[in-house]
Amino acid sequence: MKGVILAAGRGTRLLPLTATCPKPMLPIAGRPLLEHVIRLLVAHGIDDLYINLHHLPESIRTYCGDGTRWGARIQYSHEPVLLGTAGAVRRLSSRLGNAPFLVYYADNLTNFDLHALYRAHVRAGAAATLGLLWMDEPSTRGIVGLDEDGRIDRLIEKPRPGQVFADYLVNAGTYILEPEVITHIPASGYSDFAHHVFPALLGRGVPLYGYSLRGQLLSTDTPERYAQAQACVASGAFETPGRLSA
């Protein structure tokens, strides 16, 4: 299975750490976050990988190379101008083929069971399946509501207090997408899945489903969250992916 790792962001909220180091290369437990991501995907058989680049791209290319040391095949997509999460996938459309593929946000450290996410996607006959989980701090994240069949009926990115509903789940930045989703991404310019593409698909009645993921998510997008992620891993509170994907 093919996977797109979104790693192009500037990481401005993590300055000055990201002035000389791309956000996905910040270390956790002695390895760059991006290496943890690659290992997780390869452990689930997702070993044909595409990584988009923008900020300090050569540091990622130099470290990851062609991916053979992890049993992966890595190719890169350099964006001189940032295209957004969906725009990055659109740029790779000719390389992604006609099968479902994974999209993974590289600033998240997770131990998700990606096999279960894929099975849920196939079972639902979805155009897109979003990995979800419950987390607090909904105002800084994207929240999703599901109907009784697991189909998405609400999407709110960074909701205001009055918009948070009781049974929300958080968008975990881990998706299984059918190639048809790419046809709904604007042909040029900046485009984001959470802000633009998924709301448009929902409005058109395209089948979007959510799946409650088994596992943990540690965000690293702010200095506070990055420090919390480091502490969680160091304390042993973060379970190894192998235990969850067996």
What are the respective helix, strand and coil percentages of the chain, to the nearest 5? 40, 25, 35
Is the pLDDT reported for residue 14 higher than 80? yes
pLDDT at position 115 over 60: yes
- Which tops the pLDDT comparison, 86 or 135? 86
pLDDT value, residue 225: 92
Q: Is the per-residue pLDDT at 244 higher than 50?
A: no
Would you say residue 241 has pLDDT above 90? Answer: no
Residues β-bridged to residue 4 = 50, 103
CB atoms within 10 A of CB 78: 14
Q: What pLDDT is recorded for position 242? A: 46
Q: Where are the domains of the chain?
A: 2-240
At residue 129, does pLDDT exceed 60? Answer: yes
Least Cα distance to 157 among 119, 114, 195 occurs for: 195
Q: Is the pLDDT of residue 117 over 70?
A: yes
Q: Is the pLDDT of residue 29 over 60?
A: yes
CATH assignment of 2-240, among 3.30.70.790, 3.30.420.40, 3.90.550.10, 3.40.50.920 = 3.90.550.10
Q: Which residues, at least 6 apart from 50, have a Cβ–Cβ distance to it below 8 Å?
A: 2, 3, 4, 5, 74, 75, 76, 77, 92, 95, 96
Q: What pLDDT was estimated at residue 176?
A: 98
How far apart, in Å, are the Cα atoms of 185 and each of 51, 69, 104?
19, 34, 17
d(CA 246, CA 230): 24
Least confident piece of the model among 58-62, 173-177, 236-240: 236-240
The encoded tokens of residue 38 equal 């690659």
pLDDT at 161: 82
Distances in whole angstroms, Cα of residue 47 to Cα of each of 21, 51, 88, 110:
25, 12, 19, 17
Query: Which secondary structure element, helix H or strand E, spans residue 171, and what is its range?
Result: strand 169-177
State the pLDDT at residue 170: 95
pLDDT exceeds 70 at position 240:
no
Query: Which residues, listed in sequence order, are joined to residue 209 by a DSSP beta bridge?
Result: 129, 151
Residue 222's CB: how many other CB atoms inside 10 A?
Answer: 14
Average pLDDT over residues 51-63: 97
Mean pLDDT of the chain: 94
When pLDDT is averaged across residues 97-125 and rounded to a whole number, the result is 96
- pLDDT over 60 (residue 243): no
Residue 246 predicted with pLDDT over 50: no
pLDDT band at 239 (very low <50, low <70, confident <90, very high): confident
* Distances, alpha carbon 131 to alpha carbons 114, 191, 209, in Å: 9, 20, 9
Closest C-alpha to 222, from 7, 26, 72, 3: 26
- The per-residue pLDDT for 6 is 98
**pLDDT of residue 84 exceeding 90:** yes
At 120, is the secondary structure helix, strand, or coil?
A: helix
